[in-house]
């Protein structure tokens, strides 16, 4: 009886995750918001940031649609700017640590 209850619960969670996973546009908007907040907190938006963005090259986006979740990665050249996981209409984003 408990096994059946656990299977029903897992099926409900899986269906909920599948039906509420964020799409590419939602990920892109969230990543832009998070990156803008980080830039503002670091005292960015200076002429140096503008020059770095122009010289750094075009930003490329990678979107993976997993069954019950989605993964979004934004890169500029070889540098990963942000990586976000989306599940149940929520975002869990991380930025890579600065290497010394």
Domain boundaries, the chain: 2-94
Greatest CA span in the chain, whole angstroms?
Answer: 65
Question: Which pLDDT does position 27 carry in this prediction?
Answer: 92
* DSSP letters for 20-52: T---HHHHHHHHHHHHHHHHHHTT--SHHHHHH
User: Token match 């984003």: residue?
Assistant: 93
Work out the average pLDDT over 12-21: 89
Question: Which pLDDT does position 38 carry in this prediction?
Answer: 82
- Segment 47-93, tens digit of pLDDT: 555 555 555 568 888 999 998 899 999 988 788 889 999 999 899 99
Question: Which pLDDT does position 52 carry in this prediction?
Answer: 58
58 — phi, psi (to 5°)? -75, 145
């Amino acid at each position: 009886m408990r096994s059946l209850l656990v299977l029903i619960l897992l099926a409900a969670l899986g269906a909920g995750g599948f039906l509420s996973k964020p799409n590419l546009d939602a990920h892109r908007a969230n990543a832009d918001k998070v990156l803008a907040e980080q830039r503002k907190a670091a005292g960015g938006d200076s002429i140096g940031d503008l020059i770095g963005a122009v010289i750094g090259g075009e930003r490329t986006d990678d979107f993976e649609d997993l069954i019950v979740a989605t993964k979004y990665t934004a890169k500029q050249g070889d540098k990963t700017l942000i990586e976000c996981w989306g599940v149940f209409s929520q975002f869990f984003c991380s930025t890579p640590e600065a290497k010394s």
